[in-house]
């Protein structure tokens, strides 16, 4: 048996012989991994939910807007993004501030002109109609869908006539529309200040022959939107146009993510300080209890460096088991919570717009996040071992052997 194999065996026996201490150390490490991974998974789930519910309410992941020049053939541009695989779906739109009046009152709102079929593939707007229908085709006045809170302020119900005023050239344009549906977006501006009409109707009102001032895209991976926006903006065919990812369109979401990231760093530090304290206590007690054993090994001729290797191997074995157990437990817990869903509506009710869309958060398991937690745990365990191990390496075997007499 080689020296390395002997040290490994010595380490393995050390783990099993001091089962309680190994269990305590392993449980501290595994607990840290579980807490970090599950809390991180909840955070990821919340962020994904915000991206899904918030961005896809009406913004999309990325949009091309007219800038120094108008959008050239927005419909063809939208189709091109889908055909070349850049986007899952794309929809041209018109976006216009407007003043709405009805029998019960008047309100300012953002009016969105959309193509219902295309919009259904890009955002969730069409599915959020709680009452009525989303811009049905038919004769009569053009249909309009109002946020439920906006409709209440206007005193409008399904079938009500609403007059839409917009700035057009140097004056005002107006159009009479009929409420076809009410939007339930879970609160926020989507319910209180959003109205949706067919794009061609709004284009007619605005006398805009181009018919769109933006093309909204839905991507397979929303995290790819910022780099894609940068890449598109650098291409010559997009010169004079604006390209915005959700980071620019919804800076509050990006800021919230930065805040969550900062909180996560604090959480990680505090958590592992506690884990480190627990491991330090257990390791110090364990090494003190084995002082004579180590003194004897040094007396026999084992070098302090080899003793440190043996102790490190011991800790690595415990850490490896803790990583496997911690990651497995975290993955299982996240899978269960994901299937069940965490209803945060009680928190959302007090924080307007925080849970716009779904109030159910489903944590997501991230191998990257679990790997980071495992690395943190291993690093903390090793650093904590160094303190009592350094004392051990200075151990004088003659003193230890004399103590036993």
Applying CB under 8 A, the residues found at the interface with other proteins are 1-3, 5-6, 9-10, 13-14, 17, 293, 296-306, 396-398, 401-402, 404-405
Q: Are 244 and 63 in contact (CB under 8 A)?
A: yes
In angstroms, what is the minimal distance from the CB of 17 to other proteins? 5
Whole-angstrom distance, CA of residue 89 vs CA of residue 92: 11
**At closest approach, how far in Å is the CB of 9 from other proteins?**
7
Nearest CA-CA partner of 123 in 294, 284, 377, 357: 357
Using alpha carbons only, what angle is made at residue 127 by residues 126 and 128, rounded to the nearest 5 degrees? 95
Q: Which is nearer to other proteins, 196 or 309 (CB)?
A: 309
Is the Cβ of residue 129 or residue 310 nearer to other proteins in the bound state?
A: 310
- Nearest to other proteins of 59, 401 (CB atom): 401
Burial of 136 (0-12, 13-18, 19+ CB in 10 A): exposed
Between 302 and 378, whose beta carbon lies closer to other proteins? 302
The C-alpha atoms of residue 223 and residue 45 are separated, in whole angstroms, by: 14
- Cβ atoms of 94 and 206 within 8 Å: the answer is yes
Distance in Å, CB of 283 to other proteins, minimum? 17
Closest to other proteins by CB, 18 or 198: 18
- Nearer to other proteins by Cβ, of 13 and 265: the residue is 13
Residue pair 214/61 in contact (Cβ under 8 Å)? The answer is no
Q: Find the radius of gyration of the CA atoms of the chain.
A: 31
CB of 386 to other proteins, least distance (A): 19
**Closest approach of Cβ 298 to other proteins, in Å?**
7
Tell me the closest approach of the beta carbon of residue 317 to other proteins, in angstroms: 13
CB 24, min distance to other proteins, A: 18
What b/e sequence results for 314-343 when a residue is b if at least 16 CB atoms lie within 10 Å of its CB, and e otherwise? bbbbbbebbbebbbebbbebbeebbeeeee
Q: Which is nearer to other proteins, 4 or 83 (CB)?
A: 4
- Helices and strands, number each (H, E), in the chain: 16, 12
Burial class of residue 97 in the structure, from the number of CB atoms within 10 Å of its CB (0-12 exposed, 13-18 middle, 19+ buried): exposed
Question: Any idea of the CA torsion for 28, 32, 35, 37, to the nearest 10 degrees?
Answer: -140
Q: Which CB sits closer to other proteins, 4 or 230?
A: 4
Nearer of residues 250 and 310 to other proteins, judged by Cβ:
310
User: Minimum CB separation from other proteins for residue 376, in Å?
Assistant: 30
Q: Measured in Å, how far apart are the chain's first and last C-alpha atoms?
A: 33
Q: Min. distance of Cβ 13 from other proteins in angstroms?
A: 4
Distance CA 226, CA 233 (A): 11
**Largest Cα–Cα distance of the chain, in whole Å?**
106
């Amino acid at each position: 048996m080689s020296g390395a194999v002997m040290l490994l065996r010595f380490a393995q026996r050390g783990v099993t012989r001091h089962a309680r201490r190994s269990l305590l150390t392993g449980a501290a490490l595994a607990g840290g991994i579980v807490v970090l991974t599950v809390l991180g998974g909840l955070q990821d789930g919340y962020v994904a939910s915000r991206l899904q519910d918030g961005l896809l309410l009406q913004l999309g992941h990325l949009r091309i807007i007219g800038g120094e020049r108008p959008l050239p053939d927005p419909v063809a541009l939208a189709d091109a993004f889908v055909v070349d695989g850049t986007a899952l779906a794309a929809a041209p739109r018109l976006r216009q501030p407007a003043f709405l009046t009805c029998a019960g009152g008047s309100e300012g709102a953002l009016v969105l002109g959309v193509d219902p079929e295309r919009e259904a593939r890009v955002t969730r707007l069409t599915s959020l109609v709680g009452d009525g229908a989303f811009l049905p085709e038919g004769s009569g006045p053009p249909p309009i869908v109002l946020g439920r809170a906006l409709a209440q302020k206007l005193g409008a119900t399904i079938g009500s006539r609403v007059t839409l005023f917009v700035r057009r050239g140097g004056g005002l344009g107006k159009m009479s529309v009929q409420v076809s549906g009410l939007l339930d977006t879970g609160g926020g501006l989507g319910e209180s200040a959003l109205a949706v009409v067919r794009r061609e109707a709004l284009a007619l009102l605005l006398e805009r022959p181009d018919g769109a001032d933006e093309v909204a895209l839905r991507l397979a991976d929303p995290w790819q939107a910022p780099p894609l926006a940068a890449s598109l903006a650098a291409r010559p065919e997009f010169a004079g146009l604006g390209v915005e990812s959700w980071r620019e369109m919804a800076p509050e979401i990006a800021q919230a993510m930065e805040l969550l990231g900062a909180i996560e760093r604090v959480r990680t530090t505090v958590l592992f300080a506690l884990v480190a304290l627990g491991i330090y206590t257990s390791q110090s007690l364990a090494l003190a209890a084995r002082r004579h054993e180590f003194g004897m090994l040094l007396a026999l001729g084992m070098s302090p460096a080899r003793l440190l290797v043996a102790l490190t191997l011991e800790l690595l074995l415990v850490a490896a088991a803790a990583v496997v157990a911690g990651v497995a437990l975290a993955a299982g817990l996240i899978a269960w919570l994901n299937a069940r869903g965490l209803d945060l509506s009680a928190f959302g009710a007090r924080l307007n717009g925080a849970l716009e869309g779904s109030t159910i958060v489903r944590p997501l398991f991230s191998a990257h996040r679990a790997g980071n937690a495992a690395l943190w745990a291993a690093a903390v365990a090793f650093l904590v071992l160094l303190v009592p191990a350094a004392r051990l390496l200075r151990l004088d075997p003659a003193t230890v052997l004399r103590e036993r007499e």
